[in-house]
Structure 1
Amino acid sequence: MAGTKKKSYDGFTEAERGAMKDRAKELKSKEDPAAAQAAKIAEMADADRVIAERLNELIPQVAPELTPKLYYGMAGWARKGKVVCFFQDAGKFKTPYGTFGFNPPVVLDDGDFWPTAYALLNLTPDVEKQIVALVKKAIS
């Protein structure tokens, strides 16, 4: 069929392509990482914003060597420029919950099978204790 343009599918959703564009901008940005992260958190829906703001208070208290940084348009905390942990708000990929996750080379191994991200609906004192323990393990 001459003249007919074939539509291709690249395997990425619009949200995923948006995250990749966010990452490209982050790599080129001269903006202060903490300010960029604060601006991204301010854009979140209320419930996720409250969680992200609390994580941004909590993580530096337990891991002062981790600094705020954007990571594919998400709030992240990095050591020596490498993102150790991040919060993916529910709106990022239109999921029913946010997630708190970790990146390699962080090792949270527990045998042959372990989580690298956790669904996060509410940041209760008990959940905060669990996050603190995971972050401490991640940076040890």
Structure 2
Amino acid sequence: MTEQNTTTPPGFSAAEHEAMKARAAELRAEGKPGAKKAEGLQSVLEAIAKMEPEDRVLAERVHVIVSAQAPGLSPKTWYGMPAYANEDGKVVFCFKNSGKFNARYSTIEFQDAARLDDGEIWPVSFALQSWSPAVEQKVTELVKAAAS
């Protein structure tokens, strides 16, 4: 049984949903490059909304961290999964929800564009089963490093 974290709200608040919709509308209004980013944001939000509740909470929290800590990454879907790309359009990482492939846990999977290199061997995939302050801190550190 997974223990729920009572200090972090499950999913996006109504205000967060409205802010994201407003930002997507702003990006669409800015012209073609912004429109592409707005479409990517919309596709990520739609992909997250289709997830099972346990996966959706994790994906939403990851999205909030990326939006706050790595605003230079552009949201997009990649093989139907929420993903975040650098300015060259290369995917830095994606969120693979457990329900997509009937897996035991969701993962954050970093790609070649991520800047996580650490010697001759380093992890590129991290399992997520629940959200906690420690998980939030680790995901924040990974996202910052990958986007740096």
TM-score by length of 2: 0.70
Q: Which amino acid aligns with 2:82?
A: A
1:131 CA displacement:
1.0
What is residue 45 of structure 1 aligned with on the other side? 52
- The alignment status of 1:98 with 2:97, answered yes or no, reads no
What is residue 43 of structure 2 aligned with on the other side? 36
What is residue 76 of structure 1 aligned with on the other side? 83
Q: Which amino acid aligns with 1:115?
A: P
Q: Which amino acid aligns with 1:123?
A: W
1: CA distance, partners of 2:98 / 2:58: 11
1:124 CA displacement:
1.0
| Mean CA deviation greater in 30-39 or 108-117 | 30-39
Partner SS for 2:45: helix
CA offsets per residue over residues 14-41 of structure 1, 9 Å max, x none?
xxxxxxxxxxxxxxxx881111111111
1:107 CA displacement:
2.9
Share of identical aligned residues, percent? 41
Q: How many residues align?
A: 111
Q: Which amino acid aligns with 2:102?
A: K
2: CA distance, partners of 1:135 / 1:125: 15
What is residue 137 of structure 2 aligned with on the other side? 129
Unaligned residue ranges in structure 1 (runs of 5+)? 1-29
1:110 CA displacement:
2.2
Any runs of at least 4 consecutive aligned residues in structure 1 with deviations exceeding 6 A, and if so which?
A: none
CA offsets per residue over residues 79-122 of structure 1, 9 Å max, x none?
12221111000011110100011110223122222110101101
2: CA distance, partners of 1:68 / 1:46: 21
1: CA distance, partners of 2:115 / 2:68: 21
2: CA distance, partners of 1:107 / 1:67: 16
Q: Which amino acid aligns with 1:127?
A: V
Select the structure of larger CA radius of gyration: 1
1:52 CA displacement:
0.7
Q: Which amino acid aligns with 2:125?
A: A
Give the helix-richer structure, 1 or 2. 2
1:126 CA displacement:
0.8
